[in-house]
Amino acid sequence: MEEVVLKKLRELIGWDSGDGIFCPGGSLSNIYAMNVARYQRFPDSKRTGIWALPRLAVFTSQESHYSVQKGAAFLGIGTDNIYLVSVDERGKMIPADLERQINKAKSEGACPFFVNATCGTTVLGAFDPLVDVADVCKRHGAWLHVDAAWGGSALVSRKHRHLLDGIERVDSVAWNPHKMLMTGLQCSAFLLRDSSGLLQRCYCANATYLFQTDKFYDMAYDTGDKTVQCGRKVDCLKLWLMWKANGTEGLEKRVDRAFEFTRYLADAMKGREGFLLVTEPEFINLCFWFVPASLRGKQGCADYWERLGKVAPAIKERMMKKGSMMVGYQPLGSRVNFFRQVVTNPMVTKQDLDFFLDEIERLGKDL
């Protein structure tokens, strides 16, 4: 079943062969990718470690997921060796800066071996431009991994999959159906274009009490040695049964609906006083500030942003104590706390979205 499911996901990426495995989370999928890339470049390092290697360099956007940091530390690469690539005002990686960073790393004697592009950043929901990024990676011989843990599910929608144009050119993809496709935690796929058994070679330990070579069936089916885990949960069944029930078209409807919610809400916000979009959403992350009446028209004030940054936490506290709804907030770079509204639940209706706007107003109007 896992084989069939992974194959389906690979088809949606645009590969007619390849490899993969389900991991306990997108963070681990990203870390797997980093390690496979390292192994591919330096296969001996599995045995010898990376002591004697040149400093390995990793590239990722400023707005990528923090698992890249955690991965670099865990794998012994070191977080200082992550080169953060600038993003534009929409939160998308700037390919020219990636090129600059790679050249910088090379000039410092480091080895640029891994680039992480993000399709659907955590906060803004931005998609890095894969075609251009792939060109840069190809020029420099770097492994290109796409963290599509969040945005990967757009591949199921014929209308919106263009956000991931170029994905068929990458070396590996992390995709979490447990997010937009609602399979239930955990359900995170790590997919590779390689079909030479790289994943197996990278991870295998050939433990004799599990992977005996004298079994009575075709042992190529014993795929557990492709992972760092021993015991592993059955995460593919959730996705498989859900796919059987909804069909690709049913899942597509789910994804399209989420986009339309976002469109509806963004338009509604533009028509309402006090709601200020952080950026035009590319995906289904709708980021906005709620500006209470007391602050409206006061952008000129020196402490405007500082005061605005206190609004979201206060509204959050009120909504949680009331129990009426929950939505996240965070700062980002130089931007003070703003809300990140994400609607993926197909049970949500227009009434829920209208309620959302009304409730923010209700909770924040006297701030």
Partner 1 sequence: MEVDNNKQEVFQRKKNAVLVNGVILNGPITDSKAGEKFVEEACKIIMEEVVQKAADVTEKVCEWQPPEKLKKLLDLEMRDTGEPHQKLLQLCQDIIRYSVKTNHPRFFNQLYAGIDYYSLVARFITEALNPSVYTYEVSPVFLLVEEAVLKRMIEFIGWKEGDGIFNPGGSVSNMYAMNLARYKYCPEIKEKGLSGLPRLVLFASEECHYSMNKAASFLGIGTQNIYFIATDERGKMIPEELEKQVQRARKEGAAPFLVCATAGTTVLGAFDPLDKVADICEKYGLWLHVDASWGGSALMSRKHRKLLQGIHRADSVAWNPHKMLMAGIQCCALLVKDNSDLLKKCYSAKASYLFQQDKFYDVSYDTGDKSIQCSRRPDAFKFWMTWKALGTAGLEERVNRALALASYLVGEIKKREGFQLLLEPEYANICFWYIPPSLRKTEEGPEFWEKLHQ
Q: Give, as ranges, the residues between 217 and 236 that touch partner 1 (CB under 8 A).
A: 217-218, 221, 228-233
Closest CA to 22 of 239, 237, 240, 236: 236
Q: In this chain, which stretch among 128-136, 253-261, 292-300, 356-364 interacts with partner 1, using CB under 8 A?
A: 253-261
Q: Please, which of residues 143-182 interact with partner 1 by CB under 8 A?
A: 178
| Helix or strand (DSSP H, E) at 166 | none
Q: In this chain, which stretch among 129-137, 139-147, 190-198, 212-220 interacts with partner 1, using CB under 8 A?
A: 212-220
Least distance CB 41 / partner 1 (angstroms): 13
Closest CA to 337 of 299, 298, 289: 289
Interface with partner 1: number of residues (CB under 8 A): 99
Q: Please, which of residues 21-40 interact with partner 1 by CB under 8 A?
A: 24-28, 31, 35, 38
Integer CA distances (angstroms), 81 to 53, 57, 178, 258, 359, in order: 13, 5, 31, 37, 44
Least distance CB 303 / partner 1 (angstroms): 16
Q: In this chain, which stretch among 96-104, 166-174, 249-257, 357-365 interacts with partner 1, using CB under 8 A?
A: 249-257
Q: Is 62 in the site for partner 1 (CB under 8 A)?
A: no
Binding mask 337-356 for partner 1 (x = CB under 8 A): x--x-----xxxxxx-x---
Cα–Cα distance for residue pair 352/257, rounded to 1 Å: 14
Least distance CB 367 / partner 1 (angstroms): 14
The dihedrals phi and psi of 29, each to the nearest 5 degrees, come to: -60, -45
Cα–Cα distance for residue pair 76/267, rounded to 1 Å: 47
- Judged by beta carbon, residue 169 or residue 307, the one nearer partner 1 is 307
Candidates 69, 200, 223, 344; binder of partner 1 (CB under 8 A) is: 69
Q: In this chain, which stretch among 129-137, 193-201, 203-211, 288-296 interacts with partner 1, using CB under 8 A?
A: 203-211
Cα–Cα distance for residue pair 289/277, rounded to 1 Å: 6
Question: What tokens appear for 317 in the block?
Answer: 């506290």
Output the CA torsion sign for 277, 279, 281, 286: negative
Q: In this chain, which stretch among 62-70, 270-278, 293-301, 357-365 interacts with partner 1, using CB under 8 A?
A: 62-70
Least distance CB 116 / partner 1 (angstroms): 14
| Helix or strand (DSSP H, E) at 144 | strand 143-147
Closest CA to 71 of 104, 129, 23, 124: 23
Least distance CB 328 / partner 1 (angstroms): 7
Q: Cis omega (within 30 of 0) on the bond before 101?
A: no
Candidates 100, 253, 307, 362; binder of partner 1 (CB under 8 A) is: 253
Helix 350-364 with 311-322: angle, nearest 10 deg:
120
- Judged by beta carbon, residue 136 or residue 262, the one nearer partner 1 is 262
Least distance CB 24 / partner 1 (angstroms): 4
Helix, strand, or coil here: 328?
Answer: strand
Least distance CB 30 / partner 1 (angstroms): 10
Question: What tokens appear for 165 in the block?
Answer: 């144009």
Find the angle CA(5)-CA(11)-CA(15) to the nearest 5 degrees. Answer: 125
Q: Please, which of residues 72-131 interact with partner 1 by CB under 8 A?
A: 72-81, 122-123
Q: In this chain, which stretch among 97-105, 129-137, 165-173, 315-323 interacts with partner 1, using CB under 8 A?
A: 315-323
Cα–Cα distance for residue pair 225/251, rounded to 1 Å: 31
